[in-house]
Structure 1
């Protein structure tokens, strides 16, 4: 399987530009003309030669050792998820996501899971790695009422004007959405659906292009979300995201209010 040329190099260039010299104990100096760190600074701090690091950023060296990757992660101040992503970029090629043609029982399983959603009293949805909502129960349908692009949460975050009235911090939603897509996409190759979504958002949203170029990584888990619902008012909900072990193409998202809270009453 052929890896997209330059994926590791592109990541290193993007992340190097985000680290300020003072964050790693360097004096910026008045003559600095590049955002972030210079290549030779990263090389020195990581304990490799400048030539070797230049080869990494040029895509001429694609298989650095684990020790070098860990050193680069330290210099570039990567968190756990982004460090894991860096290792994946330099690791063995991985298979593509499974498709409906590969899984004869996918549709049957999806129908069963969609039926399960209706037994859950809290808002619940089935979501793909490219943030397509493939099924939702009635409480989730009511929660997202009034958002025309709610069938894909990435399109909703960047292309739906109504989202600025629905969430408390639209910019934080945008950052989290892009980082979630980056984590879900992983190293190339990508699914056709992921490619189509990224190309569409890159074409239609300047903000998406800016955030996508940062290579931030965020894996969905538990979080507290604040919504401004047109009928129910302000809601504070715990979001729980669970990947289904037998079906990594799907995640179960559930929103839970604190028992006895105003948000529980509003739901």
Structure 2
């Protein structure tokens, strides 16, 4: 059945996404890797960018660290929007675009798991944790008095041990922002939503580099992971349908009932006169 015929249960979606996010967070911690190796990877990325002339994070970081009017808002953006905008877009899709929700959710989940593979295979030191000789300033530490974060990335003070600071490659800050942007642009009807769809991933890319949390190539890798996740997610429905066609499916009462749907998802009541005419 299609998404229109069989809407998803909100509580099942919430449980699924909670489990995926828990696995993602736990996986990041388990994939911390060797610090010396992570620093080596970070320096290799920086040198490659210097050769290519694309080390854009350096001038941006100097600007953000010298201009608090830019650096402080950028730190707030980095520390918060990643965890607010993505769930908000998911809820918006679930309520307003249920036909597109499942495919978008699958795209996000697959891409996130691909990102976790990247963290595991290539632990990478972000620019802010490199030796000061390389010219980067940790703006999160510099402006920590203005926010809830401490000197350990965007984690609240005292909780830095619960985050993996060497998971810079790929940047899922950029990847998730790109996911949000594509969906807002594609399905947003209001020009403001479509404008946000363009602005949000662009601003996020500038922020992750200006705060010295990511290299430009991290951002590019984040976009590549989302592209790969999209390609995989597009193939999954066909493969799932072939698998189901070879198995016997017994509903056992698992079909979604009208009471399990949110009001916005319930079908409009049938007109009595139309029913009588039939």
Q: TM-score, normalised by structure 1?
A: 0.29
Q: TM-score, normalised by structure 2?
A: 0.28
Q: Which has the larger radius of gyration?
A: 2
Q: Relative to total residues, which structure has the larger strand share, 1 or 2?
A: 1
Q: Relative to total residues, which structure has the larger helix share, 1 or 2?
A: 2
